[in-house]
């Protein structure tokens, strides 16, 4: 079996379109399966016609995404650095980075799960839970976040680390397998094994079990990789990577996590503002479904970016400017094409999509209007993530952090309050398009300035020992 450390074809030799597709397609598929299994809970709960169940579970989406942001701290920060270290031909340091990231991911996930358990009630109420849906929100959070937090975070962390050495297919298969198992277990737990009224508990238990199985797959896969001589082998926690490598992990991982946290804060604000309207249960259930459905094209775009990032990182450190730019150009065109197709399909089929998820005419009608407005932001949302992932690949977490914080804290969240004040709940829905348009303009300006300074005629910056790059 070929050693993982020798698996450089996808980074160096394959034609760029084939290389990007080889990395991106499994990632996109896994992203879609993750989305589908997240929506599966909403779909099956929607069959009950109980808005309190749908609304309660929808409130947990931001917390679940926060747990995924923890995986980004170690997975994206470490994965980008591993790819850059491989570009510098430093596999031993890459192995130490991998081990550090595994321990980091497990520890932070455990702390987060304990925190949610200890502060369950105030957290649920802060998210907008009321007396009618609190029991559903807290039950779902207990199984998915408290019991399933560590395997969920570890699965996503390990997937990013495996992808960083060019094994996107293995990473995608593990995430996909967990999602498929969850979809199969959902109706069994909700409608067969548990009595009426326990559907939320069944959905949460199915999600927890499926994530544990996926985590087990990744552990077994890494054991097989280790036996074949690959670089992804655990070393002692005392055998730390260089201080500059640790800095390189956090330089990208922390901005990635903060950006995701702000993304989720935006969702929390949406839920909170929606809960202030008379049609509170219909509005909460409708926006809960829309926020999940709109992630389909967004997850496709994120999958393309995640597949692109290791190639960008490797060639940035290897100083192969021509291949870096070809990868950027092809990935950009691919993502924009997928976004345009998604907008057209959602505008046409918004009504049937909402009817599919909720057996409540008033909620479906409201959600149809919400979805047709929100989906128009798809192109802008992709461009926002695209530039952040480019800077993550370069190891320039400061730029990524600036764009992420500006997007959510300066544009998106204030825009929610402003448009809600002037236009009501429909202003909330239109805020994404308005804010992301401003973010894209800023992103293009920032990238153009960086490109002229660091990626000019003389090639990329000189890569430092941590793989993050130093000004030449």
DSSP code for 230: -
Q: Which of 311-320, 330-339, 448-457 tops mean pLDDT?
A: 330-339
Residues 6+ apart with CB under 8 A from 15: none
Angle at 82 between CA 79 and CA 85, to 5 degrees: 155
Strands (E), 387-459: none
397-405 helix and 378-394 helix, angle to the nearest 10 degrees: 150
- Smallest Cα–Cα separation from 81: which of 466, 377, 357, 413? 466
Q: Is pLDDT above 80 for 58?
A: no
Angle at 84 between CA 82 and CA 88, to 5 degrees: 110
Sequence ranges of the domains in the chain:
4-454
Q: What is the pLDDT of residues 1-49, one digit of tens each?
A: 344 344 677 888 889 999 999 888 888 888 788 777 767 776 777 776 6
Q: For 239-279, where are the alpha helices, taking DSSP H only? A: 243-274
Residue 470 dihedral angles phi and psi, to the nearest 5°: -125, 150
Give CA–CA dist 403/304, Å, rounded.
19
Q: What is the pLDDT of residues 244-302, one digit of tens each?
A: 888 888 888 888 888 877 777 777 788 778 766 655 567 777 877 788 788 888 889 98
Give CA–CA dist 101/233, Å, rounded.
12
First to last CA, the chain: 39
Q: What is the pLDDT of residues 174-201, one digit of tens each?
A: 888 888 898 889 889 888 888 777 888 8
DSSP code for 242: P
Encoding tokens for residue 441?
A: 């303009």
Q: What is the pLDDT of residues 390-421, one digit of tens each?
A: 998 898 888 888 998 898 889 988 998 999 88
Helix (H, G, I), strand (E, B), or coil: what is residue 131?
A: coil
> Distances in Å between the alpha carbon of 327 and those of 89, 270, 413, 445?
21, 36, 32, 20
Give CA–CA dist 234/236, Å, rounded.
7
Tokens 């480019």: give the residue: 390
Angle at 338 between CA 335 and CA 344, to 5 degrees: 140
DSSP code for 459: -
Query: Quick one: the chain helix, strand, coil %, rounded to 5?
Result: 80, 0, 15
Strand partners, 470: 462
Q: What is the pLDDT of residues 99-143, one digit of tens each?
A: 899 899 889 899 999 998 888 888 887 777 777 777 888 888 888
How many helices (H) and strands (E) would you count in the chain? 19, 0
């Amino acid at each position: 079996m070929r050693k993982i450390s020798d698996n450089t074809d996808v980074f160096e030799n394959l034609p760029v379109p084939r290389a990007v597709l080889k990395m991106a397609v499994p990632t996109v598929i896994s992203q879609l399966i993750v989305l589908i299994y997240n929506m599966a809970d909403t779909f099956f709960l929607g069959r009950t016609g109980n808005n309190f169940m749908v609304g309660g579970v929808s409130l947990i989406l931001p917390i679940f995404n926060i747990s995924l942001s923890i995986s980004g701290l170690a997975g994206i920060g470490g994965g980008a650095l591993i790819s850059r270290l491989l570009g510098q031909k430093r596999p031993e340091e890459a192995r130490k980075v991998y081990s550090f990231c595994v321990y980091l991911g497990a520890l932070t996930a455990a702390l987060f799960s304990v925190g949610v358990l200890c502060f369950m009630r105030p957290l649920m109420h802060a998210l907008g839970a009321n007396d009618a849906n609190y029991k559903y929100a807290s039950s779902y959070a207990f199984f998915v976040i408290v019991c399933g937090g560590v395997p969920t975070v570890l699965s996503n962390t390990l997937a990013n680390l495996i992808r960083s050495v060019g094994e996107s297919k293995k990473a995608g298969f593990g995430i996909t397998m967990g999602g498929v198992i969850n979809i199969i277990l959902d109706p069994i737990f909700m409608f067969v094994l548990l009595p009426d009224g326990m559907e939320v508990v069944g959905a949460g238990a199915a999600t927890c079990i499926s994530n544990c199985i996926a985590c087990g797959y990744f552990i077994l896969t890494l054991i097989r990789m280790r036996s074949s001589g690959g670089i992804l082998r655990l070393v002692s926690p005392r055998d730390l990577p260089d201080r500059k490598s640790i800095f390189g992990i956090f330089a990208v991982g922390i901005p990635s996590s903060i950006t995701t946290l702000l993304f989720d804060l935006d969702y929390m604000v949406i839920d909170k503002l929606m809960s202030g309207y008379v049609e509170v249960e219909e509005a909460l259930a409708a926006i809960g479904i829309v926020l999940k459905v709109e992630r389909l094209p967004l997850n496709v775009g994120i999958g393309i970016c995640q597949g692109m990032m290791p190639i960008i990182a490797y060639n940035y450190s290897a100083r192969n400017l021509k291949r870096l730019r070809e990868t950027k150009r092809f990935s950009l065109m691919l993502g924009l094409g997928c976004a345009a197709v998604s907008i057209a399909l959602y505008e046409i089929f918004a009504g049937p999509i909402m009817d599919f998820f909720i057996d409540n005419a008033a909620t479906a009608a409201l959600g149809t209007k919400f979805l047709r407005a929100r989906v128009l932001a798809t192109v802008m949302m992709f461009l926002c993530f695209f530039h952040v992932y480019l800077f993550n690949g370069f190891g320039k977490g400061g730029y990524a952090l600036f764009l992420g914080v500006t997007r959510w804290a300066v544009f998106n969240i204030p825009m929610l309050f402003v448009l809600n004040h002037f236009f009501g709940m429909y202003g909330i829905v239109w805020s994404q398009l308005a804010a992301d348009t401003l973010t894209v303009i800023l992103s293009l300006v920032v990238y153009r300035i960086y490109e002229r300074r660091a990626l000019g005629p003389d090639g990329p910056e000189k890569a430092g020992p941590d793989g993050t790059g130093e000004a030449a």
